[in-house]
Amino acid sequence: MRIGQGYDVHKLAEGRDLILGGVKVPYEKGLLGHSDADVLVHAVIDALLGAAALGDIGEHFPDTDPKYKGVSSIELLKHVGGLLEEQGYVIENIDATVIAQKPKLLPYRRSMAQNIEEALKLTEGKVNVKATTEEGLGFTGMGEGISSQAIVLLTSMNDYCYDDRIMAADCKGCCGGCGK
């Protein structure tokens, strides 16, 4: 099993949509960035890449590349999901927290989780999205920006075949390692 942790932060600015977890959240400001600046998805991407030892979001999607200007972070997440699949990783779960004084995110959290699950082809319940404030402290508490943290657990397909505690009794030899 492999664990990855991700963090992202963006400044709030006038004239931008607030996109979190692929959801357009009604608010007078949005996050400033080269892409749609979705801090939640960016933290998840970094956690996934880190767990798989595949670098970080800036390495895969540099903000100096014009093709990523205004891109949906959900599309970037789909690409990372494909990379993990190619490397033989299974996403066990994702737990993420958005840190924002405003707006209140409770009505949108389930949709955010569903968007992440759909982008990564995960079953329902594999992604949890939480939100918290910082009680008026720091840049998030003063409404200057929003940050997000994520942690993920990956399992290599090889682990499924070599560990008989995880492997089903009727294993059909998915990786050729267990000989069944």
The model's pLDDT over 33-79, given as tens digits with 9 standing for 90+, comes to 999 999 999 999 999 999 999 999 999 998 899 999 989 999 999 99
For the segment 135-157, the average pLDDT, to the nearest whole number, is 93
Domain boundaries, the chain: 1-157
How much is the pLDDT for 158?
75
97 is in an annotated binding site: no
Q: pTM above the 0.85 mark? A: yes
Phi, psi of 148 (to 5 degrees): -150, 150
Phi, psi of 9 (to 5 degrees): -150, 140
pLDDT at 87 over 70: yes
163 is in an annotated binding site: no
63 is in an annotated binding site: yes
How much is the pLDDT for 166?
52
Strands (DSSP E) found in 14-66: 18-20, 23-25, 30-31
139 is in an annotated binding site: yes
60 is in an annotated binding site: no
How much is the pLDDT for 180?
44
For the segment 133-147, the average pLDDT, to the nearest whole number, is 93
The model's pLDDT over 149-179, given as tens digits with 9 standing for 90+, comes to 999 999 988 766 555 545 555 555 555 555 4
Q: Which two tokens stand for residue 55?
A: 């670098």
Q: For residue 154, what are the contacts with CB-CB under 8 A and spacing of at least 6? A: 1, 2, 3, 4, 48, 51, 52, 84, 89, 90, 91, 92
As its CATH architecture, domain 1-157 has 2-Layer Sandwich (3.30)
How much is the pLDDT for 6?
98
